[in-house]
Amino acid sequence: MYILGIETSCDETSAAIVQDGRSVLSNVVTSSLAFHKKYGGVVPEIAFRKQLETIALVADCALKEADIKLKDIRLISVTSGPGLLGSLLVGISFAKALSLSLKIPLLGVDHIYSHIYANFLNCSVIKMPFVALVISGGHTSLFYIKDFARIKVLGSTQDDACGEAFDKVARILQLGYPGGPLIERLSEKGDPRSIRFSCSNTEKPLNFSFSGIKTAVLYYVKHNLDTRYSILDTRKKRESRIQDPGSKVADIAASFQETVINTLIKKSLLACQLKKVKRLVVGGGVAANNRLRERFHQETAKVGIKCYFPTAALCMDNAAMVAGLGYQLFKRGDSSDLSLAAQLD
Ligand code: KG4
Ligand code: ZN
């Protein structure tokens, strides 16, 4: 069974063809990132205008790459939320139009759950139940999953999402946007133990808080680096900051990154312990971070927990994960109709 997935929750426009919910035949992703960079974050108005321009072309590419025709599709699975309203509506409207004209069933799926499902693509089955950690630009949550129709939230961020903290710290360090990959690169040249940052405690142990550490980095920079920094810095100067080995900026990035990773590991292990499970599944854009992946594998192995990550490409927003999750839910009898609406959160 061929499923067409559509994902337009943020700045990406993606379409994918997935067979039987598991094997990815194509996964085309385009992004309007280049148009947002100068604003230091995603501008919703720009995002959905670019998505309107590209969605049909991207879907066409996905069909061509998978070497199948529209008439071969048996299900259209589309991200219905959470995300940016205008962006979600582009994907949902496109999916509805296709579903109506081709008489193919339609299903709206949750973007966050599809990040977890990315672990099930192109690989062997992961036994349930398991604990899942989703770390993305908009969300940070721990879940207990018996199956994809029964997902229990164990904890969530009380303020900033984990990826958002990477993006904000990168902005403070004037590295550029999106911040995650830039902080990761810079951290390789820094000492993660050089500065003592910490993530704020939360009343509920499985919740997260990242706004405190972001502010701590801001004050650290103000007190220690301000004179060397100017908002008028050129791109070349910013680049040299990333290249500069052993710099104080690299130490800040590495110490911040390590503290966030330690917190994520500590809470994930606690969730596994409380739910008595030995499987931890991680997804979302921040899960592409190599240092994080390495540390999670090390720490989970010490306590006999098996840890799963999607490939780096499948950690990012993509339509294959949407198609795959849609297939599993459709098999259970779920479907949507033309009243499908965008869910903002
Ligand atoms: O899941 P995603 O592609 O979009 C959302 O659903 O939000 O995640 C994007 C987030 C951004 O905040 C970005 O900075 C972060 O993931 N990110 C990373 C890395 N690559 C992307 N964070 C840390 N290290 C990375 N290598
Ligand atoms: Zn995402």
Q: Which pLDDT score is estimated for 235?
A: 66
Average pLDDT over residues 317-326: 98
Q: 309 falls in which pLDDT band (50, 70, 90)?
A: very high
> 141-196: per-residue pLDDT in tens?
999 999 998 999 999 999 999 999 999 999 999 898 889 999 999 999 999 999 99
CA of 252 from ligand 1 middle (Å) equals 19
- Whether 308 is in the pocket of ligand 1, judged by its Cβ within 6 Å, is no
C-alpha 11 – ligand 1 centre gap (Å): 12
Mutate to test the pocket of ligand 1, among 286, 292, 314, 321 (most ligand atoms within 8 A of CB): 286
Nearest ligand 1 atom to the CA of 317 is: 3
Of all protein residues, the one whose alpha carbon is nearest to atom 8 of ligand 1 is 285
Angle at 281 between CA 279 and CA 285, to 5 degrees: 165
pLDDT at 226: 55
Contact 315, 287 (CB under 8 A): yes
Average pLDDT over residues 46-72: 97
What pLDDT was estimated at residue 337?
A: 96
Q: Residue 231 above 60 pLDDT? A: no
Ligand 1 centroid from CA 287, angstroms: 8
Average pLDDT value for residue range 259-281:
98
Please say whether the beta carbons of 79 and 7 come within 8 A: yes
Q: What percent of the chain clears pLDDT 70, i.e. is strictly above it?
A: 94
- For residue 123 the two structure tokens come to 């690989």
- DSSP helix/strand/coil, 217: helix
Q: Is the CB of 83 under 6 A from ligand 1?
A: no
Predicted confidence at residue 37, as pLDDT, reads 83
* pLDDT at residue 96 greater than cutoff 60: yes
Inter-residue long-range contacts of 191-198, CB under 8 Å, 24+ positions, other chains counted:
191/251, 191/254, 191/255, 192/254, 192/255, 192/257, 192/258, 193/255, 193/258, 194/251, 194/254, 194/255, 195/220, 195/251, 195/252, 195/255, 196/255, 197/255, 197/256, 197/259, 198/259
- Residue 242: what pLDDT? 60
pLDDT-derived band at 236, boundaries 50, 70, 90 = low
* Ligand 1 close to Cβ of residue 137 (< 6 A): yes
Rounded CA-CA distance 197/214 in Å is 9
Tokens 């927990």 correspond to what residue? 305
**pLDDT for 228 beyond 60:** no
Atom of ligand 1 nearest to the CA of 112: 6
Provide mean pLDDT across the span 221-227: 76
1 near 17, Cβ under 8 Å?
no
Task: For residues 117 and 115, give the distance between their C-alpha atoms in angstroms, rounded to a whole number.
Answer: 5
Q: Is the pTM of this model over 0.75?
A: yes
Q: Is the CB of 280 under 6 A from ligand 1?
A: no
Categorize the per-residue pLDDT at 125 as very low, low, confident or very high, splitting at 50, 70 and 90: confident
Is residue 272's pLDDT more than 60? yes
Q: Is 286 in the pocket of ligand 1 (CB under 6 A)?
A: yes
Residue 131 has which token pair? 């604990």
Quick check: 77 and 328 in contact, CB under 8 A? no
